[in-house]
Amino acid sequence: MNKKNIIFFLATFVIFSAVASASMIIPSSDRAKERSSASNNSPVIGENWGLERVDFIHYANQKMAEGRPKTEKCYKLLGVSWKNTSVNYVINPTNFSGLTEEFVVSAISTSAEIWDAKTSTELFNNSYEIDYNADYGVQNFKNTMVFGEYPDENVIGVTSIWFTRKGRRIVEFDILFNKNYTWGDAETNPGIMDLQNIATHELGHGIGLDDIYNSTCQTVTMYGYSGNGEIEKRTLEEPDVNGLQSMYGI
């Protein structure tokens, strides 16, 4: 390796390793992971065609906190965001819980509008696409949401984000809802996984928010665990809104 290549390598390593106090370029620091109770494979980093990718793993956990969170410690930025909004997205309604297309589309689009309502930026395009052939995990600049199988039965869903360090831009997200769970409306059936609840959390990753594992923050939408019957993530808490507005404005 010549001298120029060595200098370039070291400069790239320094940029990759830097962590700011208010936000961070993905991945989260190793120290942050040690302090959380999340698995070591959340997030998982990979590369595809020059873009970088991060996978956020949403685990099942029935434990819920009492009281309200401390606002100053309950959100974390990924350090990347959308520069061009409003963001288009694709829904594949094919599911294994007997849900109608109308229900799936309504739950997901409502979740998108929950984020839109808290910022003057039109984050998500109100005109979405329905595609029964859309797949998760294909880097094609289409933001796809599908039901599918995940090998870990304790994983509710996964959000994959492709981004570029130059300009700190998100260029795509895909969301997988694990078909091993029974999905639907937990407000009427508390024994199932609430689609709107989980979709709201996953879309938070899609716009640039990290998971939170602080035990005092279990009521925020971006808390990294959920369980059957939970609907609290359908609405945003103040920390979620603070994180959103720090990226996209009031």
Extents of the domains making up the chain: 22-248
Query: What is the DSSP code (8-state) at residue 28?
Result: P
In this prediction the pTM is 0.81
pLDDT digits (tens, 9 = 90+) for 166-208: 889 999 999 999 999 999 999 999 999 999 999 999 999 999 9
* Three-class SS state of 58: strand
Q: Which amino acid is at 82?
A: W
Task: Using a pLDDT cut of 90, give the percent of the chain over it.
Answer: 71
In the predicted structure, residue 154 carries a pLDDT above the cut 90: yes
Q: At what angle do helices 101-116 and 195-206 cross, to 10 degrees?
A: 50
Residues making up the chain, counted from first to last: 250
Instruction: Determine the pLDDT at residue 37.
Output: 41
In the predicted structure, residue 7 carries a pLDDT above the cut 50: no
59 alpha carbon, distance to own chain's centre: 12
CB 163 within 8 A of CB 169: yes
In the predicted structure, residue 60 carries a pLDDT above the cut 50: yes
Q: How confident is the model at residue 70 (pLDDT cuts 50, 70, 90)?
A: very low
pLDDT digits (tens, 9 = 90+) for 109-135: 999 999 999 999 999 998 899 999 999
Which regions of 104-168 does DSSP assign to beta strands (E)? Answer: 129-130, 144-148, 155-164
Q: What angle do CA 52, 55, 59 make, to 5 degrees?
A: 170
CATH no., domain 22-248: 3.40.390.10
Alpha-carbon distance of 40 to 183, in angstroms, equals 27
* Three-class SS state of 6: helix
CB 99 within 8 A of CB 186: no
